[in-house]
């Protein structure tokens, strides 16, 4: 069970308490920049990593729900997954990352456009799905920002 607590809290960030989701999203942004190399495929590893986080998130959130209850505040791996989705296929620039962070937190906190409805899914799926959709919405808008910034 320790591994599920460790993963679901994003390596312990979830124990911070109030604002842990935002701290997890910020940590994800920092790691996103630190772990990308100009010598590797800029699409392959981020997609594989994001898929892995989503899968581990569903499994771990499902397991810790037995202990902590439905979508406990300590569980922040969903914010990590949503932030990764927000940044997929976006040029690696701090300006875009900051805009992505703001967009993701906006959608994650306010939960418009059917995002809140996804929380009703059972177990780990309900924990992860709303943040996945928030990340998708943030990514779509961020892609528009990137395209418009090129002209």
pLDDT of residue 40: 74
* Cβ neighbours of 64 (radius 10 Å): 24
Q: How many CB atoms lie within 10 A of CB 89?
A: 13
The per-residue pLDDT for 151 is: 47
Of the pLDDT bands very low, low, confident and very high (cuts 50, 70, 90), residue 150 is low
Distance CA 130, CA 43 (A): 23
pLDDT tens-digit map of 84-105: 999 999 999 999 999 999 999 9
Question: How many CB atoms are located within 10 Å of the residue 79 CB?
Answer: 28
Distance, CA of 19 to CA of 79 (rounded, Å): 11
What pLDDT, in 10s, does the model give residues 112-122?
999 999 999 99
3-60 per-position pLDDT tens digit: 999 999 999 999 999 999 999 999 999 999 998 877 777 789 999 999 999 999 999 9
Per-residue model confidence as pLDDT tens digits over 124-144: 999 999 999 999 999 999 999
């Amino acid at each position: 069970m320790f591994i599920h607590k460790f993963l679901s809290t994003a390596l312990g960030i979830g124990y911070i308490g109030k604002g842990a989701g935002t701290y997890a999203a910020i940590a994800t942004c920092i790691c996103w920049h630190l772990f990308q190399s100009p010598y590797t495929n800029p699409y392959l590893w981020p997609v594989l990593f994001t898929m892995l986080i989503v899968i581990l998130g569903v499994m771990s959130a499902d397991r810790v729900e037995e202990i902590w209850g439905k979508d406990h505040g300590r569980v922040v791996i969903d914010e990590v997954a949503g932030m990764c989705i927000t940044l997929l296929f976006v040029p690696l620039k701090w300006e875009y990352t900051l805009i992505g962070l703001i967009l993701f937190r906006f959608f994650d906190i306010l939960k418009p456009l059917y995002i809140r409805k996804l929380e009703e899914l059972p177990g780990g799926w309900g924990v992860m799905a709303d943040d996945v959709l928030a990340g998708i919405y943030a990514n779509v808008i961020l892609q528009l920002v990137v395209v418009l910034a090129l002209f």
